[in-house]
């Protein structure tokens, strides 16, 4: 999910990353709506609200919303800074760091909300700001590493793309296109995961309250650990194949070591590392 | 180096502008403090649900979904306490603001919660929209005017 970059990513990589992160975003968005009466995974509505508050002369509210929009932007900025600066040194670390930061933000919101929240407006705004930053990080990362194919914190673009795709499927030539079919699968998976996350969040919120953010964090930990396990496994296999503890084969009275040949998938993975 | 300085300057200017905006504006949590008199209820006409509420309020029966207060005045105190005066009696509730300061949440002792959208919050006028769900906003409004008499909140300011 996180090891590969841009065009070396497969449909499976994108679907796995898209589904897990969209599910998390759906949960966070509904949790923030139910707990704080404001969305946290998209900013389109916030732009409209910002304009409305400015028109009404509510400078405080306008400043709050402007701050939230800035933090969503800053999340995307920070995320991509990790990707473009650390990608050549260690792709996995470059892609995992924004998710780690996101988990820290969400755990902070969950812990503060559960143990210390006094329901003041300042606390509400700071927690929402943290959530928007976290969602900006996530959206920035998924968009950046998937060559802008996967965006998981809002569904406006995805719904538009699906509309376009399904209109294209009315033509036989497009229906046969594997690329378009893959894209439809990816987008539908993301939309379904986001919706599922939102529903699960809505149902469990009454029982879990702020602890819901721990559950979201667990999903994100799965994203990191899954790839960490893959990295470890790959390195283990790679080192094992390189070490000459292979038994020599007797051919015409002399000892020969069989030629090492990496599988195609492994060669591709080397490029990804 | 020059690029980094430009980026830092842009970000710092943005943060500074936000700070100025916060300083120049009034925090709704502070504006709401004090005593407010409920002066009117307004309903949007032509909506069956709103008409039901209006009819219920006139007949004095329990209103559907909402339980609007019929307090003569509401006093918002620091620390999230709300004192209502209803027919000479006092009722103590708690209040908090949510979102960007656009939702007023009132909690009863029995854990019942009512949410109102703060449509207008100025020094002398406050309008609360009852919020049953996201689609039904704005159908019923409670309009308040600030009570000029000295209140506890004003005394301690």
CA-based nearest residue in chain A for residue B78: A120
Number of C-beta neighbours around residue B105 at 10 A: 18
Mean per-residue pLDDT of chain B: 78
Q: Which of A155, A163, A185, A187 is nearest to A29 (CA)?
A: A155
pLDDT at A12: 86
The verdict on residue A32 lying in a domain is: yes
Q: Give Cβ neighbours of residue A264 (< 8 Å, ≥ 6 apart).
A: none
Per-residue pLDDT of chain A (273 residues; tens, 9 = 90+): 666 666 677 888 889 889 999 999 999 999 999 999 999 988 999 999 999 999 988 999 999 999 999 999 999 999 999 999 998 888 889 999 999 999 999 999 999 999 999 999 999 999 999 999 999 999 999 888 888 878 888 899 899 999 999 999 999 999 999 999 999 999 999 999 999 999 999 999 889 999 999 999 999 999 899 877 776 666 667 676 666 555 666 667 666 655 554 445 555 555 444
Please give the structure tokens belonging to residue A267: 């060669």
Tokens of B40: 């009117």
H-only helix segments in B32-138? 48-59
Q: Is B97 on the interface with A (CB under 8 A)?
A: yes
Q: Looking at the domain assignment, is residue A214 inside a domain?
A: yes
The pLDDT tens digits for B102-129 are 999 999 888 888 888 898 999 899 998 8
According to CATH, the topology of domain B32-156 is: Lipocalin (2.40.128)
Helices (H), chain A: 11-36, 44-56, 59-86, 91-115, 121-145, 156-168, 172-175, 178-208, 212-242, 264-272
pLDDT of A202-214, one tens digit each? 999 889 999 999 9
Which tens digit of pLDDT belongs to each residue from B85-103? Answer: 887 788 899 999 999 999 9
From residue B156, alpha-carbon distances to A59, B34, B83 in Å are 26, 10, 16
Interface-testing mutation among B78, B99, B104, with chain A (most A C-beta atoms within 10 A): B99
Closest residue, chain A, to B7 (C-alpha): A77
Best probe of the B interface among A31, A32, A34, A58, by most B CBs < 10 A, is A58
Domain range spanning residue A33?
6-272
Contact A115, A232 (CB under 8 A): no
Q: Classify burial at B144, counting beta carbons within 10 Å of its beta carbon; exposed 0-12, middle 13-18, buried 19 or more.
A: buried
CA distance A258 to A183: 42
- A202 shares contact with chain B (CB less than 8 Å): no
pLDDT tens digits, residue range B15-71? 999 999 888 899 999 999 999 988 887 765 544 454 455 555 555 544 444 455 666
Between B14, B18, B102, which is nearest A61 by CB?
A: B102
Q: Report yes or no: A31 and A47 within 8 Å, Cβ to Cβ.
A: no
- The helix-helix angle for A121-145 and A59-86 (nearest 10°) equals 30
Per-residue pLDDT, A146: 82
What total of structural domains would you count in chain A?
Answer: 1
Tell me what pLDDT residue A244 has.
56
Q: Taking CB atoms and an 8 Å limit, are B25 and A58 in contact across chains?
A: yes
DSSP B2-18: HHHHHHHHHHHHHHHHH
What is the per-residue DSSP string for A41-56? S--HHHHHHHHHHHHH
| The pLDDT of residue A257 | 58
Q: Which residues pair with B115 in a beta bridge?
A: B105
**Does the CB of B127 have a partner CB in chain A at under 8 Å?**
no
In a domain, A1, yes or no: no
Q: What ipTM was reported for this prediction?
A: 0.77
Task: Test A119 with B80 for CB contact under 8 angstroms.
Answer: yes
- What burial letters (b/e) apply to A51-85, b meaning 16+ CB within 10 Å? eebeeeebbbbbbbbbbbbbbbbbbbebbbebbee
Give the separation between CA A130 and CA A133, rounded to whole angstroms. Answer: 5
A263: domain CATH number?
1.20.1250
Q: Name chain A contacts of B30, Cβ cutoff 8 Å.
A: none
Looking at residue A256, its pLDDT comes to 62
Sequence ranges of the domains in chain B: 1-26, 32-156
User: What phi and psi, each to the nearest 5 degrees, are found at residue A259?
Assistant: -70, 135
DSSP 8-state code for residue A260: P
Rama region for A71: left / alpha / beta (φ>0; ψ in -120 to 50; rest)? alpha
Q: Is the CB of residue B13 less than 8 Å away from at least one CB of chain A? A: no
Residue B93 backbone dihedrals phi, psi, to 5 degrees: -130, 180
**Using an 8 Å Cβ cutoff, are A23 and A31 in contact?**
no
Q: Among all chains, which residue has been given the structure tokens 């300042």?
A: A122
Query: What is residue A127's three-state secondary structure?
Result: helix
Q: Tokens standing for B88?
A: 């000479």
Residue in B27, B80, B98 nearest the CB of A60: B27
Q: How far is A37 from chain B (nearest CA, A)?
A: 5
As a residue count, chain B comes to: 157
Task: Name which of A67, A119, A121 is nearest B101 (Cβ-Cβ).
Answer: A121
Residues B71, B91: Cα–Cα separation, whole Å: 9
Name the residue of chain A whose CA is nearest to B106's CA. Answer: A119
Give contacts of A60 with chain B, Cβ < 8 Å: 21-22, 25-28, 101
Q: Are the beta carbons of B18 and A37 separated by less than 8 Å?
A: no
Q: What pLDDT, on a 0 to 100 scale, did the predictor assign at position B39?
A: 85
Among A59, A63, A121, beta carbon nearest to B97: A121
CB-CB under 8 Å, A37 with B115: yes
Q: Do B14 and A124 touch (CB under 8 A)?
A: no
DSSP one-letter code for A257: P
Are the beta carbons of A60 and B28 separated by less than 8 Å?
A: yes
Closest Cβ–Cβ partner in B25, B80, B99 for A36: B99
């Amino acid at each position: 999910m996180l090891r590969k970059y841009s065009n070396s990513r497969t449909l499976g990589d994108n679907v796995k990353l898209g589904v897990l992160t969209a599910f998390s975003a759906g949960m966070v968005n509904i949790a923030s709506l139910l707990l704080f009466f404001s969305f946290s995974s998209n900013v389109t509505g916030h732009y409209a609200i910002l304009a409305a508050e400015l028109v009404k002369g509510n400078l405080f509210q306008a400043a709050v919303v402007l701050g939230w929009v800035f933090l969503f932007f800053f999340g995307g900025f920070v995320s991509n800074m990790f990707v473009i600066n650390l990608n050549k040194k260690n792709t996995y670390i470059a892609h995992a760091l924004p998710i780690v930061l996101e988990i820290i933000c969400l755990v902070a919101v969950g812990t503060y909300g559960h143990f210390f929240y006094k329901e003041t407006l300042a606390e509400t705004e700071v927690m929402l700001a943290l959530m928007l930053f976290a969602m900006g990080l996530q959206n920035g990362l998924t968009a950046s590493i998937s060559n802008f194919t996967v965006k998981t914190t809002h569904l406006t673009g995805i719904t538009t793309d699906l509309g376009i795709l399904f209109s294209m499927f009315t033509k036989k030539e497009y229906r046969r296109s594997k690329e378009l079919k893959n894209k439809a699968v990816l987008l539908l998976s993301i939309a379904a995961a986001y919706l599922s996350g939102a529903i699960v969040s809505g149902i469990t919120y009454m029982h879990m309250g702020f602890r819901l953010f721990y559950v979201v964090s667990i999903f994100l930990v799965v994203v990191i650990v899954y790839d960490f396990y893959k990295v470890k496994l790959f390195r283990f296999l790679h080192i094992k194949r390189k070490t000459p503890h292979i038994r020599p084969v007797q051919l015409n009275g002399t000892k020969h070591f069989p030629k090492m040949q990496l599988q195609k998938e492994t060669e591709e993975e080397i490029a990804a590392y | 180096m020059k690029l980094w300085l430009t980026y830092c300057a842009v970000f710092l200017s943005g943060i500074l502008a936000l700070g100025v905006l916060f300083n120049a504006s009034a925090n709704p949590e502070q504006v709401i403090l004090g005593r407010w008199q409920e002066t009117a209820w307004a309903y949007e006409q032509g909506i069956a649900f709103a008409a039901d509420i209006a009819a219920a309020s006139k007949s004095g029966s329990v209103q559907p979904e909402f339980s609007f207060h019929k307090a003569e005045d509401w006093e918002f105190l620091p620390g999230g306490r709300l004192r209502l005066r209803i027919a000479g009696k006092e009722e103590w509730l708690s209040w908090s603001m949510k979102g960007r300061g656009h939702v007023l949440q009132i909690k009863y002792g029995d854990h019942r919660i009512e949410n109102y959208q703060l449509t207008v919050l100025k020094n002398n006028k406050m309008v609360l929209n009852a919020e049953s769900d996201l689609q039904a906003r704005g159908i019923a409004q409670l309009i308040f005017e600030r009570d000029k008499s000295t209140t506890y909140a004003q005394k301690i300011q």
